[in-house]
Amino acid sequence: MDPLLDLAPCGFLVVADDGHVVLANRTALEMLGAASAEQLVGRHVDALLSTASRIFYQTHIFPTLKLQGQAHEIYVSMLRMDRGELPVLLNARRRNEGDRTVNDWAIVPMRQRNELENEILKARKIAEDSARAKEQFLGLVTHELRSPLGAIRNWAAILAQKGGDPAILQRGTEAIERNAQMQAALIEDILDEVRVATGKLHLDMDEIDARSIMEAVLEGAASTAAAKSITLERDIGHDPLRVRADRTRLQQVFWNIVTNALKFTPNGGRVRAELRCVDDWIEAVITDNGRGISPEFLPHVFEHFRQEEGGAAGGLGLGMAITRKLVELHGGSIAASSEGIGKGATFTVRLPSATPCMRSAGALEASRAPN
């Protein structure tokens, strides 16, 4: 072989039309980890390509070469002698050599570019997914904002006709108030979402008592629980549990996980709220015996705009995403677990305790153990 070709800074293969390697330069041997030309010459290119690249060769590269005489800038993954994959860029051209046709392959490794492109592809996929999710979200927002509005308008029409009847007047104004609140809450969620997305969520940090906040949330949720005959159990101790937090936002976090549990628990079910100090973390654990979460959906519980398919609960699917963000802004973490559909779910929020755990909290744990 021409020594210049042997030393060229790219791999060079001559491949017969039936796919068998006829010649390989030294650079190609080195790239593919072959000790001598004998290891490559006579082999079929199928054996030098990854499975995916083999399909691509048969369905794209071979037809293109045959019909067009050349193929440019094709990404394929070659198989080295040690079975490792080598991403390369391939240029190939057909030419007549005596009475036969051969294909010249020039191959350039592209490990770094390959990694970069993987990143680009990943980023593009994320961008596409997120654009799709936002589109769905817009549709959902429109739908969700419209339904309370519809109820309000209906009641306004009824009241215009029959507002003289005190019973109807009361039912109507209550319904309007309830729907307006629902809509306000939705708008609040959307605004929070925007604040989080644009980094404009401001926290008023203060040292406060998480226990009293949980207590207030449980009081607030009692009527919803009662309406569904759900037993709302509590084990939140009696001593203050100090955290550095934004009072309103912490309340929002607790409220979201408690009402979420109530939402997905059927009538007559059970929701249990626990609050304790463990290893200098304040831990809030909300357990229910409701609908549960499928293993497929579990990793996505805290993603934006995501709600499990078939969920009849409605809403925007923002609550849990905002909750996680709020917890994280407080330096904490949130986790969900479930044995599966129909097996209930547990949400655990952990926030750094402002003071070391008091012994009483530990003692409470200990005192429970023998029972």
Partner 1 sequence: MTPTQQAAPARATLDREVIRKRNNVNISGRGEKVMVFAHGFGCDQTMWRYVAPQFEHAYKIVLFDYVGCGKSDWSAWDAQRYGSLRGYAQDVLEILEAFDLRDVIFVGHSVSSMIAMLASIEAPERFSKLIQIGPSPCYVNDADYVGGFERKDIEGLLDLMEKNYVGWAAFLAPVVMKNTDRAELAHELQESFCATDPRVTRQFARVTFLSDNRADVRKVTVPSLILQCSEDAIAPDCVGEYLANVLPAATLRRMAATGHCPHMSHPDETTALMKEYLRAA
Q: Which residues form the interface with partner 1 (CB under 8 A)?
A: 17-19, 44, 46, 50-60, 62-64, 66-68, 71-77, 114, 117, 120-121
Which of 47/191 has CB closer to partner 1? 47
Query: Cα 85–86–88 angle (5° rounding)?
Result: 140
Report the C-alpha gap between 28 and 25 in whole angstroms.
Answer: 5
Residue 280 CB, nearest approach to partner 1 (Å): 45
Residue 62 CB, nearest approach to partner 1 (Å): 6
Which of 51/367 has CB closer to partner 1? 51
Which of 121/363 has CB closer to partner 1? 121
Which of 70/181 has CB closer to partner 1? 70
Of the chain, the end-to-end C-alpha distance in Å amounts to: 85
Tokens of 344: 């209930």
Q: State the amino acid at position 100 in one-letter form.
A: R
Q: Under DSSP, is residue 33 helix (H, G, I), strand (E, B) or coil?
A: coil
> Which residues have C-beta within 8 Å of that of residue 346, sequence separation ≥ 6?
285, 286, 287, 288, 336, 337, 338
Residue 111 CB, nearest approach to partner 1 (Å): 13
Residue 17 CB, nearest approach to partner 1 (Å): 7
Tokens of 117: 């492109």
Residue 72 CB, nearest approach to partner 1 (Å): 6
Which of 2/73 has CB closer to partner 1? 73
> Which residues have C-beta within 8 Å of that of residue 213, sequence separation ≥ 6?
247, 250, 251, 254
Residue 73 CB, nearest approach to partner 1 (Å): 4
Contact at 8 Å (CB) between 319 and 260?
A: yes
Query: Residue 365 CA to chain centroid, in angstroms?
Result: 35
Which of 51/173 has CB closer to partner 1? 51
Query: Residue 123 CA to chain centroid, in angstroms?
Result: 14
